[in-house]
Structure 1
Amino acid sequence: MGFLGFIYFTFIVVVVIQFIFYVFVFGKLAFFKPQKAVSKNIAVSVIICAKNEAENLRRFLPSIIEQEYPDFEVVLINDSSKDDTLEVMQDFAKAHINIKVVDVKSIEAFWGNKKYALTLGIKAAKNDYLLFTDADCKPVSKYWIKEMCAHFDSEKSVVLGYGAYAKIKKSLLNKLVRFETLITAGNYFSFALAGSPYMGVGRNLAYSKSEFFKANGFINHIKVRSGDDDLFVNQVATSKNTAICIPNGSFTVSTPKVTFKEWFKQKRRHVSTAKHYKLKHKAFLAIFYSSTLLFWLFAMILFVSLYKWPLILGLFLARLTIQYIILGSLSKKLNESDLLLLLPFLEIFLIMAQLTIFINNLISKPSHWK
């Protein structure tokens, strides 16, 4: 077997792997028909940890305060900010009796570690059910708390939500950021539906305080700078205790990065936590992303060489077709349908970015949060 023959047969294997992922993994979410959860009106503590976020708090905190929910408090954690974040928090607390401020001072052992600040905030929360978001996030509706917390019950102690990024017209970077977010959400929602939840995002995540303390908080990965959301979920989430929440009213929208440098730095920090996932999750993710890379690489080699090109074209188009069908349904659920027009381009661009991030993380460690 020559070089092109090897590439050809490997390409077939890669296409089969991609089919399996899109049909049997992403398909879990694409064709998922959620039943409307019944609101239980349980007492909830909304947790927001902020570091140098004064302007974002002024802009977005009112959307939290104005939630239509009968029993909730807002725990604002000031993580050693250098701007007037604390003063803004205190002003809001004076105006609203359901706001509690936790002022965290840096200590040498946990300098720059968000998990330390979050732990203090969680301890200060008066309610057992905790709902997390970021200072630069805005719920898309007044029923965010209601939608997310309706999924808690005697078995479900972890709820995974969708944290979208705001759309910016005529911005290629914005579409790339949102496409990466869509693929990531497709992965973690689908794996949860398949009975193997592995991560969530702190922009929209809920779990019980009892679950937090049962796991001894973040102690298992306290030395890892990032991962207060995905690593914790990877540790505690199971097929029985985890639910997903995908009604549009349950989404949050965050302010996206507006330069490639800022986004690249953010993704380096996020990607660095993946190596701490459970082995089975690392293996599945590695297979998916490597097979995507090899699909495009081998397709280009075979097309240029014209090696059995009718068969290659058929496999190529079949994979794109199933991808469009699955991601079309998935993106409609998550209100990201406008990304489909640039799907092949965005995928190739994302592969290149992820490869660059992976290489950079091997060379040097990403910085801690803010």
Structure 2
Amino acid sequence: MVLLYVFGAVALINCVYYLFFSKLAFLKTSERITSEKYSVSLIVCAKNEAENLKKNIPFWQQQDYSNFEIILINDASVDETLEVMESFAENDSRIQIVNVKNNEAFWANKKYALTLGIKRAKNTRLIFTDADCYPASTEWLAIMADKFSDEKQLVLGYGAYEKSPGFLNKMIRFETLMTAVQYLSYAKAGNPYMGVGRNLAYTSNLYYENNGFISHIKIPSGDDDLFVNETATSKNVAICIEPEAFTYSYAKKNKKKWHIQKKRHYSTAKLYKPKHRFLLGVYYLFNLLFWLLAPISLFTGFWALGLGIIFIRIVFQYIIIGNAAKKLREEDLVPFIPFYELFLIFTQLSIFISNSSEKNSRWK
């Protein structure tokens, strides 16, 4: 019976987190009225992204916003990235090119390249995406820019992945969904801790007031999440969840490559503020405990009670994560949420263990 008490407490903590995530799942968005009160600089850092730039620069150029420039950063590419940028710049005066050459002190460091791009921008309000991302609509820049105000200096958007057949694609999108549910819910609650560089905006004032990336310049990842973790407050952050303002990119088609990407991303979490590490760690630990204890609870003399606990917890999950998934246009993931969660938890565990013994010092 003690096991069932422990299992019940674990499931209760799970449900408390789900109730917290309801801040996003049941968030009512106000009627959107976009304006062009701010001039913005769209900043894209590219390393060996010639083919993606050919496809995506036209999407950025077609944004329905009259006052913006595009800062394209060639980060020491060895393919035709620079040539592609120059070919578009010839016919569009809005495009400015920053050609970065490898620096011995900042070899293959994306933050160094981004710093040069930010210095080149003529506008105070900066919007960031990646070279392999395209916007959901021509309103993307307008909607993101409209979230800025005198107080709101940092805007967190949603960077989604294209839907394609296969289990790996669904797992990648589920991991992306759950990451977004967490960082957007925390931000809505006044406790922001991260954002994603695929769809992020902040002011140059915020950047310079916090000395840019200097505190973590030697860390290969974190130009997005570590910067947000360091600079975001309960007052200066806005979230943007309008579907027209999502960005999309193509998910990895190889499990090994996805694991390498996630290992790099997860390695920055240990540098978050202690309160965020604690809250995120508790969430992961109690999810892991739930799935470890669930089958054991069914082989006790109180299996019916164990089954009831499992049922209540999964109902909570379906209602809240399911609504969040619909809000973020990931409806096809809803039917198998518990299965994806189970697989993701043990995938993350293997990555965390692997990260404890490996180091990576370059942006690839």
Instruction: Report the TM-score when normalising by structure 2.
Output: 0.98
Contact kept, 8 Å, 1:37 with 1:151, in 2: the verdict is no
Change (3 A) 1:363 1:6: farther
- Checking the alignment, whether the CA contact within 8 Å between 1:269 and 1:368 is kept in structure 2 is no
Q: Does 1:213 align with 2:208?
A: yes
**Cα-to-partner distance string for 1:290-316 (whole Å, 9 max, x where unaligned):** 11110010111222x234111111110
1:30/1:330 contact within 8 Å kept: yes
Q: How far apart, CA to CA, are the structure 1 residues paired with 2:188 and 2:70?
A: 30
**Counterparts in 2 of 1:79-90, with a 5 A limit?**
79-90=75-86
Output the CA distance in 1 between the equivalents of 2:249 and 2:178. Answer: 17
CA distance in 2, matches of 1:257, 1:298: 32
Paired residues of 1:79 and 1:117 also in contact (CA < 8 A): yes
d(CA) in 1 for partners of 2:184 and 2:126?
Answer: 20
Q: Which residue pairs with 2:309 in the alignment?
A: 315
Aligned equivalents of 1:365, 1:301: Cα separation in 2:
37
The counterpart of 1:65, out of the listed 61, 80, 87, is: 61
**Paired residues of 1:133 and 1:203 also in contact (CA < 8 A):** yes
Among 33, 40, 45, the residue aligned to 2:41: 45
Partners of 1:315 and 1:280 in 2: CA distance: 29
**Structure 2: distance between partners of 1:94 and 1:307:** 75
Structure-2 residue corresponding to 1:152 = 148
1:125 maps to: 121
**Mapped contact 1:137–1:254 kept (Cα < 8 A):** yes
Structure 1 contact 44–127 (Cα < 8 Å) conserved = yes
2:162 matched to which residue of 1? 166
In structure 1, runs of 5+ residues without a counterpart are none
Amino acid corresponding to residue 212 of structure 2 in structure 1: G
Q: CA deviation at 1:6?
A: 4.4
User: Any idea what SS the aligned residue of 1:95 has?
Assistant: coil
Corresponding position of 1:347: 341
What is the rounded CA distance, in whole Å, between the counterparts of 2:72 and 2:3 in structure 1?
55
- Is 1:237 equivalent to 2:232 in the alignment? yes
Q: CA–CA distance in 1 between the matches of 2:311 and 2:362? A: 42
1:130–1:307 distance in 2 versus 1, CA, 3 Å: farther
Structure 2 distance, partners of 1:307, 1:293, is 23
* Residue 265 (1) aligns with residue 260 (2): yes
Residue of structure 2 equivalent to 1:29:
24
Contact 1:45 1:74 survives alignment (8 Å): yes
Residues 174-195 of structure 1: CA distance to partner in whole angstroms, max 9, x if unpaired? 0000000000000000000110
Aligned residue pairs: how many?
A: 363
Match of 1:328 in 2: 322
State the one-letter code of the partner of 1:314: G
Q: Secondary structure at the match of 1:74?
A: strand
Shift of 1:37: 4.6
Deviation at 1:367, TM superposition (A): 5.2
AA at the equivalent of 1:332: K
CA contact (8 A) 1:268 1:366 kept: no
Secondary structure at 1:100 match in 2: strand
For the pair 1:362 / 2:353, whether they are aligned, the reply is no
CA contact (8 A) 1:166 1:253 kept: yes
**Aligned-residue offset at 1:36:** 3.2
Cα separation, 1, equivalents of 2:258 and 2:301 = 39
Deviation at 1:40, TM superposition (A): 3.5
CA distance in 2, matches of 1:311, 1:112: 55
CA distance in 2, matches of 1:68, 1:273: 35
Q: Structure 1, residues 214-239: CA drift from partner, whole Å, max 9, x if none? A: 00000111111100000000011111
Shift of residue 60, structure 1, vs aligned partner: 1.1
Among residues 286, 290, 295, which one is paired with 1:291 in the alignment?
Answer: 286
Q: Is the 8 A contact 1:132 1:205 kept in 2?
A: yes
Deviation readout 1:144-170 (Å, 9 max, x if unpaired): 00111111011000000000001002x
- Is the Cα–Cα contact under 8 Å of residues 248 and 334 in structure 1 kept in the other structure? yes
**2-structure distance, mates of 1:104, 1:325:** 48
Counterpart for residue 110 of structure 2: 114
Secondary structure in 1 aligned to 2:171? Answer: helix
Cα 1:37/1:8, change in 2 over 3 Å? same
2:348 alignment partner, SS class:
helix
Matched, 1:186 2:181: yes
Match of 1:138 in 2: 134
Normalising by structure 1, we get a TM-score of: 0.97
Contact map agreement 1:113 1:369 (CA 8 A) in 2: yes
CA–CA separation in structure 2 for the residues paired with 1:92 and 1:294: 53
Q: Distance in 2 between matches of 1:11 and 1:48?
A: 47
CA contact (8 A) 1:78 1:104 kept: yes
